[in-house]
Structure 1
Amino acid sequence: MTLSAGRVRDIFENLASTETSSKFWARVADDVHWTIVGSTPMSGVDFLDATIQVLGNSVLTEPLKIETLHVTVGAVEDKPGMTRAAVEMKSINAKARSGKPYDMTYCWIATFDDKTELIREVRAYIDTELLIRTIKETTG
């Protein structure tokens, strides 16, 4: 059975708080295939190491919190037992160590295993120019 938009929203809404973000990451498979779409230095399949850890450790003043705006789901036609969700999000009051706001918007296309409710694949569409500029301004 396809996961509902409500269930997917419940999972993603855990990113809105540092107290609940671990509940989101628990829904991400250990062998997830995560790609930042585009042709910038941040694009590719190393999202967790190249982006999340850099942001959290040296770029932002506090851990990133993300608000879920819209969720759309559907079955994956060529992969029975999988649900694909388009999730539109934005950062919540994020600030870079440079003092500038980090007003990031996201659209993640996540593919879930319906039985385990684990995210198996993500294609992340983000403002890569903002990400790169913020990292450069903050870390030199």
Structure 2
Amino acid sequence: MKTTSTMNAAAIGLVLTLAGCSVASRAPAHEAQAQSTRALVQELFDAYAQGDSRPFFDHVADDVHWTIAGTNMLSGEYHSKKAFLDATYGRLSRVLKGPVRPTVQRIVVEGNDAVVQWRGASTSVQGQPYDNEYVWVLHLEGARIVEVTAYFDGGRLDALFRATERRPGE
């Protein structure tokens, strides 16, 4: 007859074995999700770098939660794609000759999350270069980008706006 401690030890061993199998079986699925996320993000930024941001924003959920970190002129939280685009890209389109074009330096992926480090370049309406460095942290659900936190040099952005935006009465 087995003692209680022997049965407990066997039960604990079984639980640990099953837990190990569970983790092992999730690893390939987790890795597959990461590969899928990486491929999609790379594809979207490749199009963006060629001047077509539409594929990227087609994958942004209408109810995205987009945060621009810091204390620059665009900082804040936006709770829809429309609110984000109106407040940021709409405003930038008035001070830049063309869209900011990204050059991806690094993509780091963990499951449904991607961190994209990139440099962006454009030209102001006054002909001055606008260059900045960005890090976007993306959270995806399937092929939908549902949350973004953006980091960049807010001082460069604020200088762009100060130099190019018309003030009332000008």
Q: TM-score, normalised by structure 1?
A: 0.83
The equivalent of 2:71 in structure 1 is 39
Identify which of 29, 44, 49 aligns with 1:16. 49
Q: Where do 4+ consecutive residues of structure 1 move more than 6 Å? A: none
Contact 1:59/1:97 (8 A) holds in 2 = yes
- Whether 2:161 is the aligned partner of 1:135: answer yes
Kindly provide the amino acid, as one letter, of the partner of residue 89 in structure 2: I
Give the Cα separation in 2 of the matches to 1:132 and 1:51. 12
- Whether 2:135 is the aligned partner of 1:107: answer yes
Give the Cα separation in 2 of the matches to 1:34 and 1:128. 16
The equivalent of 2:92 in structure 1 is 55
* SS of structure 1 residue aligned to 2:85: helix
Give the Cα separation in 2 of the matches to 1:134 and 1:40. 11
Kindly provide the amino acid, as one letter, of the partner of residue 110 in structure 2: G
Q: Which has the higher contact order (CA 8 A, sep 6+)?
A: 1
Contact 1:15/1:67 (8 A) holds in 2 = no
1:3-59 per-position Cα deviation (integer Å, ceiling 9, x unaligned)? 4223321122221123x3211111110111000011333210244222211111x11
The equivalent of 1:79 in structure 2 is none
The equivalent of 1:80 in structure 2 is none
1:98-129 per-position Cα deviation (integer Å, ceiling 9, x unaligned)? 22210111100000112xx1100000001111
| Structure number with bigger Rg | 2
Contact 2:73/2:157 (8 A) holds in 1 = no
Contact 2:140/2:146 (8 A) holds in 1 = yes
Gaps of 5+ in 1: 76-82
Gaps of 5+ in 2: 1-28, 79-83
Give the Cα separation in 1 of the matches to 2:74 and 2:58. 24
Kindly provide the amino acid, as one letter, of the partner of residue 71 in structure 1: I
Contact 1:34/1:45 (8 A) holds in 2 = yes
RMSD: 1.6
Give the Cα separation in 1 of the matches to 2:164 and 2:56. 27
1:59-102 per-position Cα deviation (integer Å, ceiling 9, x unaligned)? 11122222222100002xxxxxxx1100011114x111122210
Kindly provide the amino acid, as one letter, of the partner of residue 8 in structure 1: V
Give the Cα separation in 2 of the matches to 1:3 and 1:21. 23
